[in-house]
Amino acid sequence: MNTNPLNHYITTDGITRDWLERLFKRARSFVDKGFVHTLPEKIIATCFFEPSTRTRLSFTAAAHRLGANVIGFDTTSSTSTSKGETLEDTIRMVSSYCDAIVMRHPETGSAAQAAAVATVPVINAGDGNNAHPSQTALDLFTIQQGIGRLDDFTIVMVGDMLNSRVAHSLATTLGLFRNVTQVWVSPQALAMPRTIQQQVAGSVDTTYQPYLATADIVMMTRVQQERFANKYDYEKLKNSYCLSLEDVGQMKPEAKIISPLPRTSELPTTIDHQAQAYYFQQAGFGVPVRAALLEWVLGVWQ
């Protein structure tokens, strides 16, 4: 895959199955044989205009594992953004300090905006409720590790389908695989956006229980408090789902529960030790998958 000369990774649009398979092979080799210093002397900038734990730290760990150095910020209050500097100015300047930029921002379209002015590759680590393409790579790798295949399976996504950039990027990318049945479960007010429903086949529902016995993957997402205009609407919907021990008991023993995390009430700690609970392993896969991605944007493999 080389749709842009700088190897930006802004959305999953345009990626191919073949490219994903090569990415996963690379990630798998890091898991099996350990990391190699393929990016010595490189500088990765992590520019996080919105909170993050896993994404920022797994990119940072991945860069260190490959021998690169990391600069960056994790809050805008300590940067010139708080003085009114534009995103474009920040990115133009950061471009001259580093070899690649990993950026998260609360606004939809901000990653594309950054890529338009950057002189180094930009990886979108989440732009508003739009896309989260590195999470998709990680989610697909997790599914492959968890159930052993990326074709012929049923995935039930549960939670805030309207605002989950994780669900949006994953749902559209699953179209690359054969015979994947998708079910998007949410309260009616938080249904999967029409644009995605038109782009990829899937069914919509408000309850997940009917699908538990046949699901291979159940992906739980939290209701995204920060995307709500008013607190009252959030309070009304925040506890819409809670995957109980009884629910897990209905799942196939080899099925997997995944989540981008962080969790709120939808994933109680009581299920953490069930065989199907796979979300902490998933978070761990963030390092090898993002390492492979950093290598790709910097031209180590094509």
The helix or strand, by DSSP H or E, that contains position 114, with its residue range, turns out to be helix 110-117
Exactly one of 121, 126, 146, 202 binds ligand NCD (CB under 6 A); which one? Answer: 126
Residue 118 C-beta: closest distance to ligand NCD, Å? 21
The answer to whether 243 and 235 have CB atoms below 8 angstroms apart is: no
- In whole angstroms, the minimum distance from the beta carbon of 151 to ligand NCD comes to 25
Q: 100 has which bridge partners?
A: 44
222/290 with CB nearer ligand NCD = 222
By CB under 6 A, is residue 55 in contact with ligand NCD? Answer: yes
Tokens at 133, concatenated: 């393409």
| Beta carbon nearer to ligand NCD, 99 or 139 | 139
Q: Applying CB under 6 A, does 54 fall inside the site for ligand NCD?
A: yes
DSSP reduced 3-state for 100: strand
Q: Could you give the 3-state DSSP secondary structure of residue 14?
A: coil
Exactly one of 131, 166, 183, 297 binds ligand NCD (CB under 6 A); that residue is 166
C-beta separation of 124 from 165 below 8 A? no
At 59, list the tokens: 């990119």
- Farthest-apart Cα atoms in the chain, separation: 54
Task: Judge if the upstream peptide bond of residue 262 is cis by omega within 30 degrees of 0.
Answer: yes
Is residue 153 within a helix (H) or strand (E), and if so which, with residue range?
strand 153-158
- Within 251-270, the residues that bind ligand NCD by CB under 6 A are 260-261
Q: Could you tell me the end-to-end alpha-carbon distance of the chain, in angstroms, rounded to an integer?
A: 7
> Of the two residues 138 and 271, which places its CB atom closer to ligand NCD in the complex?
138
- Beta carbons of 12 and 274 less than 8 angstroms apart: no
Please report, for residues 93, 110, 131, the alpha-carbon distance to residue 88 in angstroms, rounded to integers and kept in the order given: 9, 9, 19
* Residue 173 is a binding residue for ligand NCD (CB under 6 A): no
Measured from the CB atom, is 70 or 95 closer to ligand NCD? 70
Residue 284 CB, nearest approach to ligand NCD (Å) = 12
Backbone angles phi, psi at 227, to 5 degrees: -95, 0
Instruction: Give the footprint of ligand NCD on residues 215-254 (CB under 6 A).
Output: 221-222, 224
Residue nearest to ligand NCD (CB): 260
What whole-number distance in Å separates Cα of residue 77 and Cα of residue 87? Answer: 14
Closer CB to ligand NCD, 54 or 256, in the complex: 54
Site string for ligand NCD, 71-110 (x = CB under 6 A): ----------------------------------------
**Residues in binding contact with ligand NCD, number by CB under 6 A:** 12
Q: Does position 46 bind ligand NCD by CB under 6 A?
A: no
> Is there binding between residue 132 and ligand NCD (CB under 6 A)?
yes
Residues that bind ligand NCD (CB under 6 A): 54-55, 126, 132, 135, 165-166, 221-222, 224, 260-261
